Amino acid sequence: MLKYLCKKVGQSIFTLFIVISAVFLLMRLMPEEGYFSGNYDKLDTEQKEIILTNMGLRDPLPVQLGKFYINLAKGDLGESIKYRPKVPVGEIIKTKLPYSIAFGVGAMALSLTCGLSLGVMMARSKKKFWDKIGTGYIVFINAVPAAVYFLFLQLYVTDGLNLPMLFNKNNPASWILPLVSMSLGSTAGYAMWMRRYMVDELNKDYIRLARAKGLTSTVIMFKHVMRNAFIPMAQYLPSSLLLTISGSLYIESLYSIPGMGGLLVDAIQRQDNPLVQALVLIFAVISILGLFLGDIMMAIVDPRIKLEKKEGAR
């Protein structure tokens, strides 16, 4: 187990190094006005060069990358240039992160509950009412652009149910639509995969044997089928949770939620390069961490999976 964990940690660190280096180099290809606080057009060429030199942006790229890793090891993500000039990026993120965590966890809980329940009902009523309803919902979610049904919810459901159109932290009713919107896609995904895995399990020999022994359909479904069908999904739950927590770019902007997703959109629009760089790196770390935790969770949920190769095994 320890050997496997060390191997996965090493792979994750190497992948993270490649991603961070690539993001850093790509950000250096962005327009240089993203490093000036709104007075770029008023400066002459010499003044621009002095500012860029003082920021270390005229050093060779390997030197810049080395300094960046040193600052990163100290927890220094740099300072915002346009969003909140001279304010450390870490402080900006600290004020935004609680909103993304709250909505991410809430949306994840809602999508898991609804998605897995819908998948189970679809599998149990194959080609019947719930299966047709669930299939229609999954096809709709995957066929229609997300922006369309997000706007539909915001424009029409707010009037129909008398809900606030924009987020207000002091009004819990304004949290409902953002949570529902964030969970729609994940609910369809969980339902589709749960149905698929359960149908696969229902066709296996051990289920036929259980029926031959006289076990009821309820016992077979909940004690055997659901348990084994959930195992393949376990690998993707940590990454799904972490990515959901990191915030939905479109939804947070649509409902004016002051979270991480809206922050990235705002930083890109303002061309605040240091802030964009820090946020992209954070999202990359979240993705890699999710994949790592998924592998570990897969092995924990299914004890048949061996983390280490035994000697003499082929």
pLDDT band (50, 70, 90) for residue 104: confident
Q: Are residues 64 and 188 in the same domain?
A: no
pLDDT higher than 50, residue 313: no
**Residue 82 domain-assigned (yes or no):** no
**Residue 153 domain-assigned (yes or no):** yes
Q: Are residues 194 and 286 in the same domain?
A: yes
Of 211-215, 228-232, 273-277, the least confident: 228-232
Q: Are residues 176 and 256 in the same domain?
A: yes
pLDDT higher than 60, residue 110: yes
Q: Are residues 149 and 253 in the same domain?
A: yes
> What is the per-residue pLDDT across 257-274, written as a single tens digit (0 to 9) for each?
888 877 877 888 887 888
Q: Are residues 183 and 54 in the same domain?
A: no
- Mean pLDDT, the chain, as a whole number? 81
Q: Are residues 141 and 289 in the same domain?
A: yes
Contact 37/87 with Cβ under 8 angstroms?
no
**Residue 142 domain-assigned (yes or no):** yes
Measured CA to CA in angstroms, residue 310 lies from 93, 300, 314 at distances of 45, 18, 9
**Residue 149 domain-assigned (yes or no):** yes
Domain that holds residue 161: 95-301
**Residue 55 domain-assigned (yes or no):** yes
> What is the per-residue pLDDT across 120-141, written as a single tens digit (0 to 9) for each?
888 888 778 888 999 999 999 9
Q: Which helix (H) or strand (E) holds 115?
A: helix 89-124
Q: What percent of the chain has pLDDT over 70?
A: 90
Contact 134/141 with Cβ under 8 angstroms?
no
Q: Are residues 109 and 182 in the same domain?
A: yes
> What is the per-residue pLDDT across 84-97, written as a single tens digit (0 to 9) for each?
888 888 898 888 88
Contact 297/238 with Cβ under 8 angstroms?
yes
- Confidence (pTM): 0.74
Residues shown for the chain: 314
Q: Are residues 143 and 291 in the same domain?
A: yes
Q: Are residues 140 and 247 in the same domain?
A: yes
Residue 314: predicted pLDDT: 43
> What is the per-residue pLDDT across 139-179, written as a single tens digit (0 to 9) for each?
999 898 888 888 888 888 888 888 888 888 888 889 999 99
> What is the per-residue pLDDT across 186-195, written as a single tens digit (0 to 9) for each?
888 888 888 8
pLDDT higher than 60, residue 295: yes
> Token match 């706007």: residue?
151
Measured CA to CA in angstroms, residue 295 lies from 74, 232, 246, 302 at distances of 29, 11, 20, 11
Q: Are residues 161 and 66 in the same domain?
A: no
**Residue 111 domain-assigned (yes or no):** yes
- In CATH, what number is assigned to the domain containing residue 180? 1.10.3720.10
Query: Which tops the pLDDT comparison, 137 or 8?
Result: 137
pLDDT higher than 70, residue 223: yes
Residue 133: predicted pLDDT: 92
Q: Are residues 200 and 255 in the same domain?
A: yes
> What is the per-residue pLDDT across 49-82, written as a single tens digit (0 to 9) for each?
888 888 888 888 888 888 888 888 888 888 888 8
Residue 307: predicted pLDDT: 55
**Residue 208 domain-assigned (yes or no):** yes
The secondary structure of 62-107 as a DSSP string is HHHHHHHHHHHHTT---B-SSSSTT-BHHHHHHHHHHHHHHHHHHH
Q: Are residues 200 and 135 in the same domain?
A: yes
Count of structural domains, the chain: 2
**Residue 284 domain-assigned (yes or no):** yes
Residue 189: φ, ψ to 5°: -65, -45
pLDDT band (50, 70, 90) for residue 247: low
Contact 286/215 with Cβ under 8 angstroms?
no
